[in-house]
Amino acid sequence: MSIDLYVPASWATTGRRMAGFWGTGFDSVPAVSSFPIIEFTSLGGTPRFRGWDNSVGAWIDMGLPSGFSYDSWHQLKIELIGANWRYTVGDLVLVTSATGSVSIGNVILQGHNNTAGVTYDIYWDNFSSISPTQATSATDNCDPDPVITYSDDPDLDGCNGTGTILRTWKATDACGNESTCVQTITVIDTVAPAITCPPNATVECGASTDPDDTGSATAIDACDPSPVITYSDASTGTCPRVITRTWKATDACGNESTCDQLITVQDTTAPTITFCPDGVTIQCHVAPTPANTGGPATANDVCDPSPVVTFSDVNSLGGCNGTGTITRSTSLSGSKLFRSEKASSIF
């Protein structure tokens, strides 16, 4: 069943439940087994549509459909598909368990007013019940308008409530004469879930790339209220390293859809020099190599297990027999630490 609801701009800021489209679900007894509901609310300051999940007794937010605008009409649709309720508003789809319901009964159009003296209008239009899959007709020699009814024998134990429904149609004339025919309705699920990837992310080397820190995909499916979401990673490059995380949503019938999230792992932190030789004095005939001057320097880095340590010398050897000072700069990946070494001659 479906109905159009007019959503005025004033509803965006009321902070209240505003309008609800209810049905009553009946099981095979028949007894009331669920209440499928779509409503518009701005509780908590966020305007949105939401649907009632009978299996857990809680609301599930649907958000606002693409192209949504206030002061305009929006169609709300509730369908019983297999073992699930399917709520639709524009391109928003929410699937929840029907908790044993096999048919929809009463329709309730609800408003909420918990504040004395506050009134508001709700505009509904174009209510439509969902008709049988195909029109059935009958003729009778004496009754120009025989009554046509039907009953269903569902066998929907397949994945996502798939299977067959045997629909027995019965035509009854005014004298109680009856004839029947059986229609077979096959319910299949070949549509993959709709998956939404988290936004691309950039993290510093050494930081977690787990979904708890970089986001997780979400998915909705027309028949499966809880499609399984998994992911796999593939990395390219080193600086930066780019992880292509492929998210996959799979419904109970094996239909799959994927999307890719890019996680860039960057390194903007310079290595740390853990040891730099102190200034030393050497004889003029000794080569000022790191091995002879207390070196080499050492370093570590969060991302690079073996940072390259280099050095450069500035000589000031204007004394006798080439004595003087050498200023040695130790550097690695942009981090510099200066130390001086002094050379002298022994006569």
Predicted local confidence at residue 282, as pLDDT: 78
The domains located in the chain, with CATH, are 2-128 (2.60.120), 147-187 (no CATH), 194-266 (2.60.40.10), 272-344 (2.60.40)
Residue whose structure tokens are 């087994």: 33
d(CA 48, CA 38) in angstroms, rounded, equals: 10
Cβ contacts of 26 within 8 Å, gap of 6 or more = 32, 33, 101, 102, 103, 104, 105
Measured from the Cβ of residue 175, the count of other Cβ atoms closer than 10 Å reads 9
d(CA 144, CA 81) in angstroms, rounded, equals: 35
Instruction: Report how far apart, in Å, the C-alpha atoms of 172 and of each of 100, 181, 183, 184, 260 are.
Output: 30, 12, 17, 21, 58
Predicted local confidence at residue 332, as pLDDT: 62
Per-residue b or e along 176-198, where b marks 16 or more CB atoms closer than 10 Å to that residue's CB: eeeeeeeeeeebebeebbbbebb
Nearest Cα to Cα of residue 229 among 261, 263, 187, 188:
261
Q: What does the block give as tokens for 49?
A: 């549509």
pLDDT digit string, tens, across residues 132-163: 555 566 787 888 888 888 888 888 888 888 88
End-to-end CA distance of the chain: 107
Which runs of E-coded beta strand occur in 138-237? 147-155, 163-172, 178-187, 194-196, 201-204, 218-220, 228-236
Report residue 88: phi and psi, to 5°.
-135, 130
3-class DSSP assignment, residue 8: coil
Report residue 290: phi and psi, to 5°.
-55, -35
Note the helical H segments in the chain: 211-214
Q: Spell out the per-residue pLDDT of the chain, length 347, in tens.
A: 889 999 999 999 988 899 999 998 888 888 889 999 999 999 999 999 999 999 999 999 999 999 999 999 999 999 888 788 999 999 999 999 999 998 887 888 988 776 777 788 899 988 877 555 555 667 878 888 888 888 888 888 888 888 888 888 888 999 999 999 988 888 888 888 889 999 999 999 889 999 999 999 998 887 788 899 999 999 998 888 999 999 999 999 999 999 999 999 998 878 888 888 888 887 877 888 888 877 788 888 777 777 888 878 788 877 777 777 877 776 665 434 433 333 333 22
Predicted local confidence at residue 344, as pLDDT: 35
